[in-house]
Amino acid sequence: MHNTAIICQEAPVPSASGKEITNEHCSKVNSQTYLIAGQEITLPVKVGAAAMLMNVFVVDAKKAQQLIAASGFKVVEIWPGKALMQLLGVDYQQNDLGDYNEAAIVFPVTTPGEPKPLPVIGTIWRMFKGSLGNYVYRMPVNQGFTTHAGRFIWGFPKWVTDVDIQFGEKTASAKFSDAGELVFAIDAATGAKTSAKPQAAPSLAIRDNLAWKTIGITEGEGLTFKLGGSPPKIGEHHPLALQLRALGLPKKPMCTISIRQAKMHFDGPEAVAIGSPFTS
């Protein structure tokens, strides 16, 4: 069963030939090209179609910071003593890395040397503008190739498990289970026709004792935003579910967001020693 450490325990990736260790089956050819499990991937990686949903929660800042302290990042306080956490689900349909589902547990943070946003308005403004760093604490997926690619190219904490995404006319849902145990299940309203303008947001990760920063650009159609929402379902036994419970879940989210038709592209990363500032 998956652990909760900052350095994600990387289980071997199932394949037709057995189980593969990521660093033994991937290599960097040059700054723009990687060989991932025998397949060449050239940056930027483009996503032609995806559907995504997110729940944003207000959680205890001290507990959240204790959870991610070894990353060198600092949780952003939306107001004193309260931080933000996001639970996500993404259905990648047309993607250079294949067709797969992904979930994530994410904390908006500042990086070493980066100024804190002003409480409340400053934090919310930067979050919706896309300029806050998003520390990806965990990113489970349901396919092997993207596990190798996400780990090796960008340092994302991926492993292969059960992630189910459903998009309906009025509601979308995401369910993430691991080793037969529920971790979380969320939903979000759908149905609006608002456009999501291109937004360049930094994603942060910890892998191989390095801190990784990647800029991803997301845009799309069918953006639905709603204040509040339904409380998520949180597992009773899985270590990650217990972490979510320690942060105060299940409870109503601050807001929910969904995008029915999203497009994205991801550039190459910058990797620095944990606790060091990024140059970009």
Q: Which CATH number covers residue 165?
A: 2.40.400.10
Residue position matching structure tokens 């929660």: 57
Residue 119: pLDDT above 90? Answer: no
pLDDT of residue 114: 86
Instruction: Give the amino acid at 279.
Output: T
How far apart CA 10 and CA 25 sit, in angstroms, is 14
Cβ-contact 75, 66 below 8 angstroms: no
235 in a structural domain: yes
Residue 47: pLDDT above 90? Answer: yes
Residue 218: pLDDT above 80? Answer: yes
SS3 65: helix
2 in a structural domain: no
Instruction: Give the amino acid at 84.
Output: L
How far apart CA 158 and CA 12 sit, in angstroms, is 11
Domain ranges, residue 89: 13-273
Residue 18 pLDDT grade (very low, low, confident, very high; cuts 50, 70, 90): confident
Residue 222 pLDDT grade (very low, low, confident, very high; cuts 50, 70, 90): very high
pLDDT of residue 116: 77
- Count of domains observed in the chain: 1
How far apart CA 220 and CA 167 sit, in angstroms, is 15
269 in a structural domain: yes
Phi first, then psi: what are they for 190, rounded to 5°? -130, 180
Q: Tell me what the pLDDT averaged over the chain comes to.
A: 93
7 in a structural domain: no
Residue 111: pLDDT above 80? Answer: yes
How far apart CA 275 and CA 151 sit, in angstroms, is 20
**Residues in CB range of 211: below 8 A, 6 or more apart:** 71, 72, 73, 111, 204, 205, 271, 272, 273, 274, 275, 276, 278
Residue 51 pLDDT grade (very low, low, confident, very high; cuts 50, 70, 90): very high
Cβ-contact 45, 34 below 8 angstroms: no
Percent of the chain surpassing pLDDT 90? 84
Task: Between 233 and 7, name the one with better pLDDT.
Answer: 233
Which tokens is 258 given?
Answer: 């969904």
Residue 176: pLDDT above 70? Answer: yes
193 in a structural domain: yes
Residue whose C-alpha is closest to residue 24's, from 37, 11, 39, 6: 37
175 in a structural domain: yes
pLDDT of residue 87: 98
pTM of this prediction?
A: 0.95
pLDDT of residue 7: 81
How far apart CA 86 and CA 70 sit, in angstroms, is 19
pLDDT of residue 128: 67
Beta pairing, strands 194-207 & 133-138: parallel
- Whether cis (ω within 30° of 0) applies to the bond prior to 44 is yes
Reported as a single tens digit per residue, the pLDDT across 224-270 is 999 999 999 999 999 999 999 999 999 999 999 999 999 999 999 99
